[in-house]
Amino acid sequence: MACLNCNEARTEYSFDALEVHTLHVRDFGGERVIQALGERVTFEVCGACASEEVRASLFPAVRVLRKCWGFGVVLAVGAVLSLTLTLSDEMIALRVIGPLGVFVGVSGIVGRVREVLARRKVLEAMSESERLRDSAWVCALRNAPKKFGDNDITYIPINSQTMSMTEAELSDRYNLIPAIASLARKNLWTAG
């Protein structure tokens, strides 16, 4: 099996995971969630991709720019509208758009920067080998299929940590409905 990220044949990290399929159904009664366990899958990631992911998380300037540029545009347009529309005698509703853009832009940037810095903090607390393995998993998740038809696919890693989780912990961590948390729990018990 090749690296999920770059197709390199020689891989260093291998992960087993359970697929969770989730379908959101909207009908007259509101929104319902239908969930099922899917296949057991294996992901492999090479050492180079894991190292690159660690580097990008520890020195996140490029990542911050990539995640924030869209909000930067919203912020800039909002600022321009705020300045021009307040000078003219436009409708009051239109005048709200500028400051709203500024607000959405600023809060978006703050949120993304926080997210990137929180990830860096988590990695900084780990040993080098834990860092590489955790980053390889993040890299695998980024490249793993996220859709199957209309279903959203998420993954529960099969490892010592998830195997020792209770149904409530699994449900909370992986957004599972109670029946599926119970089924996942049983699957994880037998997976080891």
Smallest distance from Zn ion to CB 139, Å: 8
Smallest distance from Zn ion to CB 64, Å: 23
Q: Indicate whether 169 belongs to the interface with Zn ion (CB under 5 A).
A: no
User: By rule CB under 5 A, what string of x and - marks binding of each residue 100-129 to Zn ion?
Assistant: ------------------------------
Q: Using CA of residue 159, residue 17, residue 8, residue 146, what is the dihedral sign?
A: negative
Smallest distance from Zn ion to CB 20, Å: 25
Q: Indicate whether 8 belongs to the interface with Zn ion (CB under 5 A).
A: yes
CA 192 to CA 106: how far, in whole Å?
46
Span of 5-13, 62-70, 113-121, 130-138 interacting with Zn ion by CB under 5 A: 5-13
Query: How deeply is 26 buried, as exposed, middle or buried, from its count of CB atoms within 10 A (0-12, 13-18, 19+)?
Result: exposed
Tokens of 54: 């660690």
Q: Indicate whether 5 belongs to the interface with Zn ion (CB under 5 A).
A: yes
- Asked if 15 and 43 count as a contact pair (C-beta separation under 8 A), the reply is yes
Smallest distance from Zn ion to CB 90, Å: 53
Smallest distance from Zn ion to CB 59, Å: 19
Q: Which residues pair with 158 in a beta bridge?
A: none
43-72 residues in contact with Zn ion (CB under 5 A) are 46, 49
158 Cβ contact partners less than 8 Å away, ≥ 6 residues apart: 15, 16, 17, 18, 40, 188, 191, 192
Please report, as ranges, the residues that interact with Zn ion according to CB under 5 A. 3, 5-6, 8, 46, 49
